Amino acid sequence: MSFLSRKFTLNSLRLLSSCNLNQATTKRFKTYQVVIVGGGSAGISMASKLKYDKDHLAIIEPSNVHYYQPLFTLVGAGVYNLNDSMVMRPTEKVMPKTANWIQSRVNQLKPDTNEIILDDGTQVNYNYMIVASGIELDFERIKGFPSAFEYENICSNYSSNLVERTWNNIKNFKGGNAIFTFPNTPIKCAGAPQKIAYLADDYFRKSGVRDKTNIIFNSALAGIFAVPKYAAVLNELLKKRGIQTNFRHNLVEVIPDQNEAVFENLDTNEKIIQKYDFIHITPPQKPADFLKPIADQSGFVDVNKETLQHKKYSNIFAIGDCSNLPTSKTAAAVAAQSNVLHNNLLKIMGVEEAENLKYDGYTSCPLVTSTSTCILAEFDYNLNPKETLPYDQGRELKSTYFLKKSVLPFIYWNLMLKGKWNGPNEIRKILRFDFPITRLIKKIISFRIRFKEPRK
């Protein structure tokens, strides 16, 4: 079955489910102390932190498969396979045993009465709700979709159905225009659209087709990166690699039978048509429709940016991509947010030992620049670098690539999803202390950086 057929089948099933919901009598579930909407990285992490049982804690999550999506970039570059255990595992294997897994989709939220209505009409009640529903891909906002999926030279690392096409296109590329896009909406992992352009450039050089290739990065943003320190490094990298950038260019249409992409200049409203031999699309993205009763004007859950508590409903919290927190939507941000949310939730529950923590907007983006180098961007709400390691992370380093490829996936599966990872804040504190063991660690790291890394 093709991707397009699967999509139409899924839409048909959702339509039937919606019709049945209108006809069915609402069924009632018991009231849970805490209900978590979404079983991705944020939802699983929060469930693991809460010391409840299946009678008091529930997670609503429809998917059978759980992906570590930060590795999709490396799947698209041929470093990992999609079915690798570092990339995906069955949801049942990562779901905390202490949580009741309700495998369904949410149809409606009723925050005034503490009710959640599922697709089949079931009503789930809660005393407290954590919203961790992520963000949805919205390819259909681009004219020409979904029929454009039938053309193999259109790919995207953002979809598990399309990510392996990226590697097929890169390894079989013989030259021409390779276009990479960034949309005019919030997206998860805002560094990913440029990472795959760097990885494609790296492979094209190795395969001997780079001199016959135009790599074009068209972004709706005004620049390559929001943090000035890393933007300066990346701009130099783009210049050195000969990658063409067009900012304030938003993809609005694909004409696949003519291999044409139509971009709108967001400053002039001019339409620009570009030919492509393959195109990597970062799709527009949106919050789930059912969030509207608790959302701001943008559609994302309206929470206090320091406490993650809803601004109107005190028994509702949000974490990760579904929230309106003004920071990048990354797994690293979720890790830092999880401890803040956990402590603040316990605080309003009246647990005496709970701390009153504030989230400072910390997030991280490992900017992979080749299959051996990476820049590790870490920053806060104010776009100030908040680096963990005792060296300049704004450099292309092999050690940082190893961190991205091997260390972070291990942390994700073995610590974060088990509620034992709150980000690198404690590591940062330790490395800032002037203890003998700390000095030794710093010397070892500095020695490896000095003698193992290529000079830039």
Residues 150 and 267 in one domain: yes
Residues 151 and 272 in one domain: yes
pLDDT digits (tens, 9 = 90+) for 42-88: 999 999 999 889 999 999 999 999 999 999 999 999 999 999 999 99
* Contacting residues for 258 by C-beta, under 8 A, at least 6 apart: none
Residues 10 and 119 in one domain: yes
pLDDT digits (tens, 9 = 90+) for 99-141: 999 999 999 999 999 999 999 999 999 999 999 999 999 999 9
Supply the pLDDT for residue 320: 97
Supply the pLDDT for residue 323: 98
Domain count, the chain: 3
| Residue (of 67, 131, 74) closest to 413 by Cα position | 67
Residue numbers annotated as active site: 189, 365
Residues 241 and 183 in one domain: yes
Q: How crowded is residue 444: how many other Cβ atoms within 10 Å of its Cβ?
A: 10
Instruction: List the alpha helices (DSSP H) in 208-256.
Output: 228-241
Q: Which helix (H) or strand (E) holds 110?
A: strand 106-110
Report the DSSP pairing between strands 244-247 and 122-131: unpaired
Instruction: Answer yes or no: is 355 within a domain.
Output: no
Q: Tell me, what DSSP letter sits at residue 271?
A: E
Supply the pLDDT for residue 454: 47
| Residue (of 91, 93, 84) closest to 65 by Cα position | 91
Instruction: Answer yes or no: is 294 within a domain.
Output: yes
State the average pLDDT for the chain: 91
Residues 232 and 337 in one domain: no
Statement: residue 216 has pLDDT above 50: yes
Q: Tell me, what DSSP letter sits at residue 320?
A: G
Supply the pLDDT for residue 161: 95
Q: For 322-340, what is the mean pLDDT?
A: 97
Residues 141 and 222 in one domain: yes
Q: For 290-308, what is the mean pLDDT?
A: 98
Residues 58 and 125 in one domain: yes
Given the structure tokens 């290739």, which residue do they identify? 213
Using 50, 70 and 90 to split pLDDT, how confident is the model at 355?
confident
Residues 178 and 104 in one domain: no
Q: Tell me, what DSSP letter sits at residue 405?
A: I
Q: What angle do CA 11, 44, 10 make, to 5 degrees?
A: 10
Residues 129 and 150 in one domain: no
Supply the pLDDT for residue 436: 52
Statement: residue 248 has pLDDT above 60: yes
pLDDT digits (tens, 9 = 90+) for 413-454: 999 999 999 999 988 888 765 555 555 555 555 555 544 454
What pTM does this model have? 0.89
Per the structure, the complete domain to which residue 157 belongs is given by 137-284
Using 50, 70 and 90 to split pLDDT, how confident is the model at 201?
very high
